[in-house]
Amino acid sequence: MSQTVAFLTTFAPLPATAPSSHAHIIKDLARGTSKPRLQDAIVTLLYNISFSTLTTFLDPDIKEFRLIQTRRRGRDAGEQLIVMKRGCKVIVQNLLLTYYPSFTFSFNTPKQKKYMQFAINSTQRLTLYKKNYQIGLANYCPELFDTLEFDNLVRMEIDKDGAWKLVYASYRDYFCKSWDAVWEGRTVNRGWDCLSLRAWVEDPRAESRKTLEILAEELMLVVVTGRMWEAIGFASTLATG
């Protein structure tokens, strides 16, 4: 995808001439003069799924909107992109499969095996099998995987004039299996919380603002370059209230 795109000019509720903080439908990914943002990717996704999907998202009388776009094919089959809206608040997130295959560590000495066995057992999350100088991860405790794991998650707000504002962004947030928990920001620590990356708009540091923008751009690229609206590669599930 080029660094600039062209916006659709025939959808009156989202005019192509609106400021960059507003949402625009991307018409041409190969050429144009506008730099795409996450809100553009969101409405482009919804528009290409169906006209009614986008109009439902924009309808102020719809109290809750949740679209789950599931990848059907390839190595990442089952991975989901989720777009949720409550009032003026929007959450976009890339949900990962909660699946970890069995694998084996090999060691040269009993001392190495003993150390790794202690390190893994101390998490109290994995069941081990042992054979000679190998330790294999063969099973897991169900409660560890009773969570939603998001590769990227971005929270945004839409003001009365239609401008979108980045509020929060994260890499690897974990929640209980509840959409209310996601909305309320009630994360859970699965034991490697130190690997998560989070940024808030309230944080005055320049690096936090930069992180917000980078994570939002990454999610935009996931949607646009992956053409996540294509029916042949994705399945859509829509819930409203």
* Tokens, residue 123: 């998490």
* Tokens, residue 208: 């936090």
Q: What is the rounded CA–CA span in Å between residue 93 and residue 155?
A: 9
- Residue 237's beta-bridge partner residues? 68
Q: For position 2, what pLDDT does the model report?
A: 55
Helix (H) or strand (E) holding 175: strand 164-176
pLDDT in tens, 183-197: 999 988 877 677 788
Q: Band of the pLDDT at 29, cuts 50, 70, 90?
A: confident
DSSP-based three-state secondary structure for 204: coil
pLDDT in tens, 87-98: 999 999 988 754
Is residue 116's pLDDT more than 50?
no
For residue 39, report the phi and psi dihedrals to the nearest 5 degrees. Answer: -60, -30
Least confident of 25-39, 113-127, 160-174: 113-127
Domain boundaries, the chain: 36-101+109-227
Q: What is the rounded CA–CA span in Å between residue 25 and residue 201?
A: 25
pLDDT in tens, 62-106: 999 999 999 887 777 888 899 999 999 999 998 875 444 334 444
Q: For position 1, what pLDDT does the model report?
A: 53
